[in-house]
């Protein structure tokens, strides 16, 4: 889960839901976002009472609601503050601390290297790099050469991130960045099968219609159980759309998703999808989720 440091300090009631660890989760990491070293450290101290395995500092989120408060990718442009945040969080947390950043420049590796070295010296045990600028959000090519420069310069593990929506994307990122470790993000939304795909030695068949419906139902009903019907369904809409997009389901059906508000409406909608299936024979292509 991604949690704002201020919400931890002021005990936002939603945090208790987000920090629930399932009995079937052998490993759980928590990502903390904020723009103040003192606030982040106080939040890290409070989080010590919870049950997870790793605390990651988000210094890569490009969303304005995060960056205008000095957090996320805004920290990547302030190496001294970013390093101070790490130092204080490492001292406050009982968990191993990692960080996720974005590249700082597309043309000058040294700008990103300076940030990465400062974070390593401040105590992180691993670093994830999204290979795009803050301003590009999720558009454009991933700067694998800059990720590689950081990977070669640091002693700690470096994880490459950006643009992985299938097996070929994963292979390109590993080869281009020199990193044996990669992080998947948007490519997993509506496509949990991506993990078996990128680990397979050969191309694998896409999920069947029945698998898509079963997994979508399991995830959406689990969100409702965890967050409650109102919040759960609001958050689930983009998940439902992701499961259906690019797999041959009718656009008219997908347009209904934004209006789903209750579990009963979702169950009724899913029954129609199950019965109807994709509108035409569909050959899944790599990167379908992007469309």
Q: Give catalytic residue positions.
A: 61
H/E stretch holding 129 reads strand 127-130
Look at residues 144, 222, 153, 238 and name the one whose alpha carbon lies nearest to residue 189.
Answer: 238
- Residue 4: strand, helix, or coil: strand
- Residue 41: strand, helix, or coil: helix
With the C-alpha atoms ordered 105, 109, 114, 115, is the resulting torsion angle positive or negative? positive
Residue 145's CB: how many other CB atoms inside 10 A? 14
**C-alpha–C-alpha distance, residues 185 and 12, integer Å:** 25
Describe the strand order of the beta sheet including 97-102 as a list of residue ranges.
2-4, 29-33, 54-59, 97-102, 127-130, 158-161, 181-183
Strands (E), 168-261: 181-183
Q: How far, in whole angstroms, is CA 243 from its chain's centroid?
A: 17
Q: Are 131 and 160 in contact (CB under 8 A)?
A: yes
Rounded to a whole number, what is the distance in angstroms from the first to the last CA of the chain?
A: 26
């Amino acid at each position: 889960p991604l949690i704002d440091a201020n919400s931890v300090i002021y005990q936002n009631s939603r945090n208790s839901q987000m920090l629930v660890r399932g009995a079937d989760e052998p490993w759980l990491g928590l990502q903390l976002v904020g723009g103040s070293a003192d606030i982040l450290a106080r939040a890290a101290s409070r989080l010590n009472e919870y049950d997870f395995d790793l605390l990651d500092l988000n210094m890569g989120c490009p969303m304005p609601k995060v960056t205008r408060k000095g957090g996320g990718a805004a920290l990547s442009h302030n190496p001294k503050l970013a390093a101070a945040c790490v130092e204080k969080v490492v001292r406050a947390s009982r968990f191993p601390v990692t960080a996720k950043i974005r590249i700082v420049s597309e043309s000058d590796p040294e700008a990103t290297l300076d940030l990465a070295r400062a974070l390593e010296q401040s105590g992180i045990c691993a670093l994830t790099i999204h290979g795009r600028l803050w301003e590009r959000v999720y558009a454009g090519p991933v700067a694998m050469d800059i990720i590689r420069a950081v990977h070669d310069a640091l002693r700690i593990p470096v994880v490459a991130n950006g643009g992985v929506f299938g097996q070929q994307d994963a292979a390109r990122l590993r080869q281009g960045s020199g990193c044996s470790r990669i992080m998947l993000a948007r490519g997993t939304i509506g496509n949990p099968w991506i993990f078996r795909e990128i680990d397979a030695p050969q191309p694998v068949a896409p999920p069947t219609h029945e698998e898509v419906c079963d997994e979508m139902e399991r995830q959406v009903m689990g969100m409702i159980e965890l967050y409650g019907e109102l919040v759960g369904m609001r958050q689930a809409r983009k998940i439902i759309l992701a499961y259906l997009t690019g797999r041959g389901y009718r656009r008219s059906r997908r347009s209904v998703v934004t209006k789903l508000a209750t579990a009963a409406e979702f169950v009724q909608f899913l029954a129609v999808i199950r019965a109807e299936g994709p509108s035409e024979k569909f050959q899944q292509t790599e990167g379908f989720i992007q469309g």
